[in-house]
Amino acid sequence: MQNAVPVFVDIEPESLGLDPEKLEQAITPLTKAIIPVHILGYPARIQEICEVAESHNIPVIEDASHAPGASVQHKMLGTFGTMGVFSLQQRKAISTGDGGVICTDDEEVAKKLWRLRSFGDDELSYNYRMTEFAGVLGQIGLQKLGRHNKERAQAAQYLSKIFESHPRIRIRHPRPNETGVYYAVAIEVDISDASSAELVSRLEARGYPIRRVFSPLNLHPHFNPVAKPARGLPWEHPSYVGSMRGIRYENLNLPVSYKYCRGRVLELYTHPGISESQLDDFATDLLAEIN
């Protein structure tokens, strides 16, 4: 984190992305960048987020790692912010094994990234080069992306029809004017956090690629260490005067994240080419569990 202090802002319930209103309240003179994530390929409210950012003149680093090919009003995700980042690690829709891509239309940022890319001739850096071999894999992935995204969307629509009138299961979809790519299908289940953990482990044991959506990051042990790490913590440094001073991350009040990201939303990985009978099997098992 280069000694940056993350300030977590709550999400909004529909996209599970950064809430623009809460973002506005969290900005201080120390805010250096805003990092929204388009989680599971569902677009965050990126236009409003960018409006807030622009009004404060703060760059947006849009994490579109789950969302290559997704769009809002026909504009691709990853092109709204000052920078758009796309991880290409092995689980992503385009994978080069590991690595990633950064998009920007800001000339200065592009030059800086280029300078930092390879150890840094003029500026000290690390090795962020992509091999040609990885580049070729990425190009092939890009060619297949449209077809794969379409197949993932079809699988989500198929499941949606099955659960259409179920009172406790909802397949989530992007809002009108948005195109999502269903990196994973977000399935909202109206059960307790404890029951969802048991449900997921039973479905996983039957081989379904399902898990609970990422848990709130402020609860991660890195931000709540029991013992002080030798390298120190930037938010506890005496010179730090920002909004996280004297606050323990796990005590942050993020009610929407806590409601949805501790068990209520599950993510199902539907690989391209998944058959209707595979989806039927999953639906039958999920219905048997929830009914």
Ligand X SMILES: Cc1ncc(COP(=O)(O)O)c(C=O)c1O
Residues 6+ apart with CB under 8 A from 25: none
Binding characters for ligand X, 61-100, by CB under 6 A (x = yes): --x-xx--------------------x-x----------x
Q: Considering only residues 7, 37, 210, 265, which one is a binding residue for ligand X as defined by CB under 6 A?
A: 37
Is 112 marked active-site? no
| Count of residues engaged in binding ligand X, rule: CB under 6 A | 7
For residues 216 and 262, the answer to whether their CB atoms sit within 8 Å is yes
Active-site annotation holder among 22, 92, 144, 259: 92
Q: How far is the CB of 44 from ligand X (least distance, A)?
A: 11
**Nearer to ligand X (CB atom), residue 78 or residue 163:** 78
**Nearer to ligand X (CB atom), residue 142 or residue 191:** 142
User: Tokens at residue 260, please?
Assistant: 């949805």
Name residue, tokens 């039927």. Answer: 280
Q: How far is the CB of 98 from ligand X (least distance, A)?
A: 6
**Nearer to ligand X (CB atom), residue 82 or residue 87:** 87
Alpha carbons within 13 angstroms on the beta-carbon side of residue 60 total: 29
Name residue, tokens 């996280």. Answer: 244
Is residue 23 at the binding interface for ligand X, with CB under 6 A as the rule? no
Name the residues annotated as catalytic. Answer: 92
Q: Which residues bind ligand X (CB under 6 A)?
A: 37, 63, 65-66, 87, 89, 100
